[in-house]
Amino acid sequence: MFIKTTIDGEPVQISSELLVKYDQALPRYTSYPTAPVWHDNITDDEYRKALTERAARPAAPMSLYIHLPFCSERCAFCACNVIISKKRHVIDQYLDAVSAELATVGAFFPSKPLLAQLHLGGGTPNYLDPPQMERLLTEVKKYFLFEDTIEASVEADPRWTNTEKIAGLRTLGINRLSFGVQDIDPVVQQAINRVQPFELVQEQVREARRQGFESVNIDLIYGLPFQNAERWAKTLNAVAEINPDRIALFNFAYVPWLHVHHQKIAADSLPMPQEKMRLFTQAIDKFNEMKYDFIGMDHFARKTDELSVARREQKLHRNFQGYTTRAGLDLIGFGVTAIGDIAGRFFQNERKLVSYERTVTSGKLATSKGYVRTRNDELRRSLIMQLFCHQKIDKRRVEADWKLDFAREFAVPMEKLQNLSRDGLVRLTPECIEITALGRLFIRNVAAAFDQYLGQGEGKFSRAV
Ligand X SMILES: C[S@@+](CC[C@H](N)C(=O)[O-])C[C@H]1O[C@@H](n2cnc3c(N)ncnc32)[C@H](O)[C@@H]1O
Instruction: Tell me which residues touch ligand SF4 (CB under 6 A).
Output: 71, 74-75, 78, 80, 82, 122-124, 157, 180
State the nearest-atom distance from the C-beta of 69 to ligand SF4, in Å. Answer: 8
Is position 221 an interface residue for ligand X (rule: CB under 6 A)? Answer: yes
- Which of the residues 238 through 257 are near ligand X (CB under 6 A)? 250, 252-253
Q: Which is nearer to ligand X, 33 or 123 (CB)?
A: 123
State the nearest-atom distance from the C-beta of 221 to ligand X, in Å. Answer: 5
Is position 78 an interface residue for ligand X (rule: CB under 6 A)? Answer: yes
- What whole-number distance in Å separates Cα of residue 37 and Cα of residue 235? 37
| Stretch (H or E) spanning 52 | helix 44-55
Hey, what amino acid is at 312? Answer: R
Quick check: helix, strand or coil at residue 393?
A: strand
Burial call 146-172: b when 16+ CB within 10 Å, e when fewer = beeebbbbbbbbbbbbeeebbebbbeb
State the nearest-atom distance from the C-beta of 78 to ligand X, in Å. Answer: 5
Is position 32 an interface residue for ligand X (rule: CB under 6 A)? Answer: no
Q: Which does 14 bind (CB under 5 to 8 A by kind): ligand X, ligand SF4, none?
A: none
Helices (H), 223-335: 229-242, 273-289, 306-312
DSSP 113: P
Is position 157 an interface residue for ligand X (rule: CB under 6 A)? Answer: yes
State the nearest-atom distance from the C-beta of 121 to ligand X, in Å. Answer: 6
Query: By rule CB under 6 A, what string of x and - marks binding of each residue 320-359 to ligand X?
Result: ----------------------------------------
Task: Report yes or no: 68 and 335 within 8 Å, Cβ to Cβ.
Answer: yes
Name the residue among 372, 381, 367 with its Cα closest to residue 338.
367
Angle ∠(371,104,328) on CA atoms, nearest 5: 45
- What whole-number distance in Å separates Cα of residue 306 and Cα of residue 325? 7
- What whole-number distance in Å separates Cα of residue 349 and Cα of residue 384? 25
Q: Which is nearer to ligand SF4, 124 or 189 (CB)?
A: 124
- What whole-number distance in Å separates Cα of residue 139 and Cα of residue 133? 10
Task: Report yes or no: 342 and 87 within 8 Å, Cβ to Cβ.
Answer: no
Q: Which does 74 bind (CB under 5 to 8 A by kind): ligand SF4, ligand X, none?
A: ligand SF4
CA trace torsion 26, 392, 340, 131 (10° rounding): -100
DSSP 450: T
Q: Which is nearer to ligand X, 247 or 398 (CB)?
A: 247
Q: Which is nearer to ligand SF4, 181 or 417 (CB)?
A: 181
State the nearest-atom distance from the C-beta of 250 to ligand X, in Å. Answer: 4
Q: How many residues bind ligand X (CB under 6 A)?
A: 17
Name the residue among 88, 47, 59, 38 with its Cα closest to residue 360.
47
Q: Which does 153 bind (CB under 5 to 8 A by kind): ligand SF4, ligand X, none?
A: none
State the nearest-atom distance from the C-beta of 262 to ligand X, in Å. Answer: 7
State the nearest-atom distance from the C-beta of 78 to ligand SF4, in Å. Answer: 3
State the nearest-atom distance from the C-beta of 87 to ligand SF4, in Å. Answer: 16
Q: Which does 252 bind (CB under 5 to 8 A by kind): ligand X, ligand SF4, none?
A: ligand X
Is position 77 an interface residue for ligand X (rule: CB under 6 A)? Answer: yes
Q: Which is nearer to ligand X, 235 or 359 (CB)?
A: 235
Q: Which does 101 bind (CB under 5 to 8 A by kind): ligand X, ligand SF4, none?
A: none
Q: Which does 219 bind (CB under 5 to 8 A by kind): ligand SF4, ligand X, none?
A: ligand X
| Stretch (H or E) spanning 12 | strand 10-15
Task: Report yes or no: 122 and 71 within 8 Å, Cβ to Cβ.
Answer: yes
| Stretch (H or E) spanning 49 | helix 44-55
State the nearest-atom distance from the C-beta of 56 to ligand SF4, in Å. Answer: 37
- What whole-number distance in Å separates Cα of residue 336 and Cα of residue 346? 15
Q: Which is nearer to ligand X, 35 or 253 (CB)?
A: 253
Neighbouring residues of 147: CB distance < 8 A, sequence distance ≥ 6 = 61, 114, 115, 116
Q: Which does 413 bind (CB under 5 to 8 A by kind): ligand SF4, ligand X, none?
A: none
Is position 122 an interface residue for ligand X (rule: CB under 6 A)? Answer: yes
State the nearest-atom distance from the C-beta of 180 to ligand SF4, in Å. Answer: 5
Q: Which is nearer to ligand X, 251 or 281 (CB)?
A: 251
Among 219, 305, 306, 357, binds ligand X (CB under 6 A): 219
Q: Which does 97 bind (CB under 5 to 8 A by kind): ligand SF4, ligand X, none?
A: none
Residue 450 Cα distances to 24, 217, 287, 424, 430, angstroms: 16, 31, 30, 18, 18
- What whole-number distance in Å separates Cα of residue 320 and Cα of residue 351? 17
Residues that bind ligand X (CB under 6 A): 77-80, 121-124, 155, 157, 180, 182, 219, 221, 250, 252-253
